Amino acid sequence: MNGIEVTLISGRTARQGIGLEEGKTSQGYIKSVNEVSLCPEDAASLGLSGDEPVTVATEHGSVVAHWRVDKGLARGTAFFPYGPWANQVYASSTDGTGMPQFKGIRATLSPAAGGKVPSLQEIVESMRRAEH
């Protein structure tokens, strides 16, 4: 697999804040949280181009997401806005604190050859299906 190791950081963005006030089902919100940011050099090393999405994987889970370039990120660091997509890869373990670790997680990014970014409804359905 043509992947790279990164440290994954989650966080807020203004776009996400504006989007969530339109509604979680709005395109503004969905587009603000279903993409991961990485530096131009990492995007180039993965051979990413156009609309091809990426797979973000941790030892806990994986998700296919859109990507964008952020020149402010260093090599080996990726940013994933808080939201249903990012939460597919985080563990629920809190080490007795109540708080899961949303920042500073080891993850792998790789081109999602032929993969499709799940819709909000698909993510909700996958949560439902997990009960059976």
Could you tell me how many residues of this chain bind other proteins (CB under 8 A)? 52
- SS3 at position 43: helix
Residue 72 interacts with other proteins (CB under 8 A)? yes
What letter would DSSP give residue 87? G
What's the Cα-to-Cα distance from 65 to each of 5, 70, 98, 116, rounded to whole Å? 16, 15, 27, 8
Alpha-carbon gap, residue 25 to 43, rounded angstroms: 29
Kindly identify the residues of this chain, within the stretch 93-112, that bind other proteins according to CB under 8 A.
93-104
Site for other proteins (CB under 8 A): which residue of 3, 77, 110, 115?
A: 77
Which residues of the shown chain bind other proteins in the complex (CB under 8 A)? 7, 9-14, 17-19, 21-26, 60-61, 72-74, 77, 79, 82-84, 87-104, 120-121, 123-124, 127-128, 130-131
